[in-house]
Amino acid sequence: MWPWMLYLFLYFPEDKREYIPAAISFSVFLLIAILTMRLIVLISRRQEKEAKRLEQQLLGQKDESGRKSDV
């Protein structure tokens, strides 16, 4: 029964120009997805650098005072 139901949703147009709007929308969404992923990686790298800087700052405070600070 499943193959029969899946065939209801398959549509291959005779006129191949009907693929153009789908290709355009796919390209736009693919570009947006790539840009979003690049933005996430960029923000993640910035946060990683900030966390390392903060960690070094906290470790520096620990070394100067000789004891661990309550942070």
What are the sequence ranges of the domains in the chain? Answer: 6-69
Predicted confidence pLDDT, tens digits, the chain (71 residues): 667 777 777 778 889 999 999 999 999 999 999 999 999 999 999 999 999 999 999 988 876 655 655 55
Tokens of 59: 């470790």
Please tell me the distance from the alpha carbon of residue 48 to that of residue 61, in angstroms, as a whole number: 20
**What's residue 11's pLDDT?**
76
Query: How much of the chain is in helix, strand and coil states, percent to nearest 5?
Result: 80, 0, 20
Task: Provide the whole-model pTM.
Answer: 0.63
Contact predicate 62/68, CB 8 Å: yes
Task: Identify the three-state secondary structure at position 15.
Answer: coil
Sequence length of the chain is 71
Helix (H) or strand (E) holding 53: helix 19-65
